[in-house]
Structure 1
Amino acid sequence: MQKKSYCFRAGHLLSCSMSDSNTTDFTNPSIFILLGVPGLEAAHLWISIPFCTMYIVAILGNFTILFIVKMEPSLHVPMYYFLCMLAVTDLVLTTTTIPKMLSIFWFNCREIDFSACLTQLYFIQCFSVMESGIFVAMALDRYVAICLPLRHSTILSNPVMGKISLAVVLRGSLLIVPYPFLARRWPYCRTNMIPHTYCEHIAVVKLACADIRISSYYALFVAFLVIGVDVFLITLSYIQILRAIFILPTKDARLKTFGTCGSHLCVILAFYIPALFSFLTQRFGQNVPLHFHILFANVYLLVPPMLNPVIYGVRTRQIRDRLLRPLTHQGT
């Protein structure tokens, strides 16, 4: 009896005759099927509640930051321009992934077009790299403001700001271009079902029935380049900042100066710690349950965008005062 294998295309089960275990007619599917959180399908509705809440907070918080910076002339300085870039990046990251995830949880709408999947993959990776670059730019701003305060406006002039912003955008855009091109190049002859809530790069290319070492090695190269270089530059900046703080004459002056960096340090930790943990579990956590990895990958994309405006709103006096001004005027 001739052996049959079965594969999925456009959500339908197909019977594929095979002479070789890796050869079928299932190549480059028109759609992928996102499975959500395999093993926790019964809890999808409950999982959606905290994720939806975090998404709403992220959207409202980041739009509030953009509105306040636009309306308050005193905030038209490099630090808050970078903060606006961070807010826009967070809005794109969350909106690229969360609405589709919620449609899976609420309406069982699991299909995603192949090209749309690769586009989502590109935007997630691209804007994650941009966000890391923005943190480096913000660390540079803090270094200049604390270590070279008299030259701050000269060093970080508007033309320099424009060049830094352009470099951050171009680096994120160009480094990730190979991701979707390589993913489109591979033949997909096993299944079009992705065990995830969004088109994560490795989750997609693992479905290919080809040697995907190029994609895997390039992803490792980008991860080590971005995280390694950016964390090194941020650390170097803060070493210089701490040296400048410790030579200040009084404790109050040291605490006040360090307080200006507090918000930045908090959002850096909120971004890099989950990113590093997700990367390590993805590559080396073979014993980590799949549903835990998927949930954490979603938390990694949601928690920093939700926390960033909250942290800056609470810790930054100018933003806090501008936000509370209508309430104080009503009180008087």
Structure 2
Amino acid sequence: MPDSNTTDFSNPSTFILMGIPGLETAHVWISILFCIMYAIAILGSFTILFIVKIEPSLHEPMYYFLSMLAVTDLVMSTSIMPKMLSIFWFNSREIDFSACLTQMYFIHCASAMESGICVAMALDRYVAICHPLRHSTILTNPMVAKIGLAVGLRNGLLVLPLPVLIRQWPYCRTNIIPESFCAHIAMVKLACGDTRASSYYGLFFLFCVMFLDLILIAVSYIQILRAIFSLPMKDARLKTLRTCGSHLCSISSFYIPGLFSSLMYRFGQNMPLYFHVLISNMCFLLPPMLNPIIYGVGTKQIRDSLLRLFTHKGP
């Protein structure tokens, strides 16, 4: 690459994505793992959408929210995989500045959407368990649509300032991003001048999305657990608790890697850079891969619908 990539320039039109620094010789092998994860995510998400569409018994709030989650997973994984594979397979590292900002927007918007849909699904479980007789009157189809629209608008508007602020900063040191995609925090580190506005807004965004959403989910499950343990029969308690199992697994697969990655960026300076990048990639590839598996295996209605689909014999 020319020397201007590292010195004596300002506001470059393109940036250089490094993939996974320190593991360049293993890029092809890593890409095989990522391709398998991506293929499972794509196939699983489309299967969920197809099953919910064709099966009338799944036309309920829980499965509408699951369909929203599947669409979000498709957007989140597809936002990073094509460019990542072009780096791993063809050494195509350049990305236009506008394309970089667009990728950043969709990555963080999809991640925030995933968090918001987890809250919506926790609300559905709360109403179904704590107010079962009112579930159909509270979570009507129009209400589900309004919740989905509210989640989309909240996250779309909250994410928008991230690329807008990034575009305003000068870049006078380097245009090399030591990542495999355009992450907000990596771009802030490259910018010159006083970037505190971006840093503060990034923390505000995390607080509004991750922290507040986790609080809402925790409050919902505290009420759910209180309702479950007030049931007189042990079998009834276990059966009701199992209805929350898939959702709890999905929440864990999304929030745990994300929180771990955030903590590493702030307190794991002694860890190798490639470890940071791998964990960052897993935050956006692991939930889309695991969610279809979690709900396909852990939800009886979807499992039964899949079995009927694959064992159906024509007349």
Query: TM class, shorter-chain normalised?
Result: over 0.9
Among the aligned pairs, what percent are the same residue? Answer: 70
**Deviation per residue, 1:298-319 (Å, 9 max, x gap):** 1111111100000000011111
Alpha-carbon RMSD: 1.6
* 2:114 corresponds to which of 119, 131, 137: 131
Structure 1 residue 14 displacement after superposition: 3.2
Q: Does 1:30 align with 2:13?
A: yes
Distance 1:96 1:199 in 2: 10
Q: Does 1:173 align with 2:156?
A: yes
Distance 1:286 1:295 in 2: 15
Q: Does 1:288 align with 2:271?
A: yes
For residues 15 and 289 of structure 1, do their structure 2 counterparts lie closer, same or farther at Cα, with a shift above 3 Å needed? closer
Q: Name 1:300's counterpart in structure 2.
A: 283
The correspondence of residues 96-135 of structure 1 with structure 2, limited to 5 A, is 96-135=79-118
Distance 2:119 2:104 in 1: 23
Q: Does 1:65 align with 2:48?
A: yes
Structure 1 residue 283 displacement after superposition: 2.1
* 1:270 corresponds to which of 248, 253, 256: 253
- 8 A Cα contact 1:89 1:131, kept in partner: yes
Report the residue type matching 1:85 in the other structure: M
Over alpha carbons, which structure has the higher Rg?
A: 1
Q: Does 1:13 align with 2:24?
A: no
TM-score when scaled to structure 2? 0.97
- SS for the counterpart of 1:33 is strand
Distance 1:58 1:173 in 2: 23
- 8 A Cα contact 1:28 1:184, kept in partner: no
- 8 A Cα contact 2:52 2:58, kept in partner: yes
Structure 1 residue 158 displacement after superposition: 1.9
Higher RCO (C-alpha under 8 Å, 6+ residues apart): 2
Q: Name 1:162's counterpart in structure 2.
A: 145
* 1:223 corresponds to which of 197, 206, 210: 206
Q: Does 1:185 align with 2:185?
A: no
- 8 A Cα contact 2:41 2:292, kept in partner: yes
Distance 2:282 2:119 in 1: 23
TM-score when scaled to structure 1? 0.92
Q: Name 2:60's counterpart in structure 1.
A: 77
For residues 247 and 16 of structure 1, do their structure 2 counterparts lie closer, same or farther at Cα, with a shift above 3 Å needed? closer
Q: Which runs of no fewer than 5 residues in structure 2 stay unpaired?
A: none
For residues 248 and 181 of structure 1, do their structure 2 counterparts lie closer, same or farther at Cα, with a shift above 3 Å needed? same
Q: Name 2:187's counterpart in structure 1.
A: 204
Structure 1 residue 97 displacement after superposition: 0.1
Number of aligned residue pairs: give it.
315
Q: Does 1:86 align with 2:69?
A: yes
Q: Does 1:239 align with 2:222?
A: yes
Q: Which runs of no fewer than 5 residues in structure 1 stay unpaired?
A: 1-10, 18-23
